[in-house]
Amino acid sequence: MTAPPAADCVFCRIVRGEIPAKLLFETGRVIAFDDLRPQAPVHVLVIPKAHFASLNDVPEGSEGLLGELLLAARRAAREKGVAETGYRVVLNTARDSGQDVLHIHFHVLGGRRLGWPPG
C-alpha cells in the first residue's frame, strides 16, 4: 500500500517536478536531493515518492520501502564522498523531534565531524 502524493506537500511537489531541486539520484520509489538549508557540508534528503507524513504513518508491511530508503541513504553518502569518513542518517518524527516537512525523509549529513549528542 502506498499513499498518493499530497497536493500541498513541498516534497510531493519536488517529486512531481513542480519545484526544482538539485537531484542526486532517483529510483522507482525514492529520490535523493541536496537540502536547501544544509546543516553540514554534505546534507542530502532521501524521501519516498509516496507521501507518508512521518514514520508513524508508514503502514505495516512497508519493510521493503524503508529498507530501500536506508540503502538510498548509504548510496547518497557514497556518491557525496563521505561513506568512508563517516556520515549520520537522521529521521525526525513529528513536531517535537524537529520534523518541519510532514513527509517522511531521511537526512544524510557528513563532510565534517558531527557532535554528539545532537539537539
Looking at 43, 51, 103, 105, which residue is catalytic?
105
- Residue ranges and CATH numbers for the domains of the chain are 10-110 (3.30.428.10)
Active site annotation includes 105: yes
At 6 the pLDDT is 76
Q: How confident is the model at residue 1 (pLDDT cuts 50, 70, 90)?
A: very low
**Global pTM value:** 0.93
pLDDT tens-place string over residues 9-48: 999 999 999 999 999 999 999 999 999 999 999 999 999 9
Q: Strand pairing partners for 31?
A: 26, 47
